[in-house]
């Protein structure tokens, strides 16, 4: 059976690796935090002392790291993956990083004969735990097909966005739009309530009209409208403001590099930044609605 090296066992990586183990895969595990490795170690999950050791015999290398600098370091720098992995290994980076960085790393990998895909996820820690993640993949079609059985054991939906870096780019586009939808929905609901409308009635009407969108229907930011949304529990849990902010930074950087006007995306970025600076960084991103309302609902 294929050997898998899994590198990066944080909030997302750990449950993803656990799902592969549960599915009967054999893994070599590495993280800079030894405790993260120990928690998952077992008969089929062998701890490795370094990234280099983890990838030595691997047929697949999966990485799930916080930022582009970590990914560059792992594959191109001190991690030495490109030097120590088997030439036949397929490299799968699930981190969310700048498309330009993903392209650069993939190019370096190709230059040394490796196949590589970027496969950033959406679905959060809940999706990681329940193996319902969505993977948005950039890279060659045959590389994706080789990766598919593994991805399918960690997630539910797999999209092919294009060549290397395009998985990151598609995620950036989606999440920039999500940031805009959430603020726009918050404004519409706040405006209605400030003018006497009931937020539930208004949400129902918009949900059947041309303003309908994911953030309104699945993740309504107005407290009291949806029983199971973060708004119902003081915006605890969910997808954090600072994670949305990270994605919006990637979007703004891509927009500047490609000279594409994104006025609403840029403003959304700044509003989340202002919101984070006020102390809301760890709250769910739908808490942005509190920036638009007086604390007591007054006008």
Chain residues 92-111 in contact with its own copies, contact rule CB under 8 A: 99
> For residues 197 and 225, is the Cβ–Cβ distance under 8 A?
no
Of residues 169, 109, 171, 163, the one with CA closest to residue 135: 171
Q: Do 295 and 228 meet the contact criterion of CB atoms below 8 Å apart?
A: no
**Candidate ranges 13-21, 44-52, 204-212, 220-228; the one touching its own copies (CB under 8 A):** 204-212
Residue in 78, 218, 224, 233 binding its own copies, rule: CB under 8 A:
218
Task: Work out which of 35, 87, 113, 209 binds its own copies, going by CB under 8 A.
Answer: 209
171 is catalytic: yes
Contact between 276 and 245 under an 8 Å Cβ cutoff? The reply is yes
Task: Give dist(CA 77, CA 177) in Å, integer.
Answer: 33
Q: 56, 148, 200, 293: which one contacts its own copies (CB under 8 A)? A: 293
Handedness of CA 258, 262, 267, 269 (dihedral sign): negative
What is d(CA 99, CA 215) in angstroms, rounded to the nearest whole number? 25
Torsion 223-224-226-228 (CA) sign = positive
Q: In the set 32, 108, 232, 266, which binds its own copies (CB under 8 A)? A: 266
Exactly one of 169, 229, 241, 283 binds its own copies (CB under 8 A); that residue is: 169
Determine, following the binding rule CB under 8 A, whether residue 228 of this chain makes contact with its own copies: no
Rule CB under 8 A: is residue 41 a binding residue for its own copies? no
Neighbouring-strand partners of residue 63: 7, 93
In the complex, the smallest distance separating the C-beta of residue 117 from its own copies, rounded to whole angstroms, is 15
Q: Which helix (H) or strand (E) holds 121?
A: strand 121-122
Q: Which of residues 126-165 bind its own copies (CB under 8 A)?
A: 134, 136, 157, 159-163, 165
- Of 47, 66, 211, 237, which one interacts with its own copies (CB under 8 A)? 211
Residue 271 interacts with its own copies (CB under 8 A)?
yes
Identify which of 279, 66, 272, 258 has the alpha carbon closest to the alpha carbon of residue 176: 272
Q: Which of 171, 208, 259, 293 is flagged as catalytic?
A: 171
Q: Should residue 297 be labelled a site residue for its own copies when binding is judged by CB under 8 A? A: no
**Stretch of 68-76, 106-114, 146-154, 287-295 lying at the interface with its own copies (CB under 8 A):** 287-295
Question: Catalytic positions, please?
Answer: 171
């Amino acid at each position: 059976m294929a050997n898998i090296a899994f590198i990066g066992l944080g909030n997302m990586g750990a449950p993803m690796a656990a799902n592969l183990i549960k599915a009967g895969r054999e893994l070599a595990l590495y993280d800079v935090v030894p405790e993260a490795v120990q928690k998952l170690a077992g008969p089929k999950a062998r701890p490795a002392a370094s990234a280099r050791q983890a990838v030595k015999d691997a047929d697949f290398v999966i990485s799930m790291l916080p930022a582009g600098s970590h990914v560059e370091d792992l594959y191109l720098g001190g991690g030495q993956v490109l030097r120590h992995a088997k030439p036949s290994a397929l490299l799968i980076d699930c981190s969310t990083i700048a498309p330009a960085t993903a392209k650069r790393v993939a190019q370096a990998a190709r230059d040394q004969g490796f196949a590589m895909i970027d496969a950033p996820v959406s679905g959060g820690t809940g999706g990681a735990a329940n193996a319902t993640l969505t993977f948005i993949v950039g890279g060659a079609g045959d590389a994706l097909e080789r990766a598919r059985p593994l991805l399918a054991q960690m997630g539910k939906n797999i999209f092919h966005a294009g060549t290397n870096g395009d998985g990151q780019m598609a995620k950036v586009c989606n999440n920039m739009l999500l940031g805009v939808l959430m603020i726009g929905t918050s404004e519409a609901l706040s405006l209605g309530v400030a003018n006497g409308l009931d937020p539930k009635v208004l949400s129902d009407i918009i949900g059947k009209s041309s303003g309908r969108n994911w953030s309104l229907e699945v993740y309504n930011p107005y407290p009291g409208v949806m029983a199971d949304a973060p708004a119902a529990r003081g915006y605890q849990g969910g997808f954090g403001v600072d994670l949305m902010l990270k994605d919006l930074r990637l979007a703004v950087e891509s927009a500047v590099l490609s000279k594409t006007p994104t006025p609403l995306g840029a403003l959304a970025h700044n509003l989340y930044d202002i919101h984070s600076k006020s102390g809301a960084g760890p709250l769910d991103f739908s808490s942005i609605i509190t920036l638009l309302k007086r604390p007591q609902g007054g006008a």
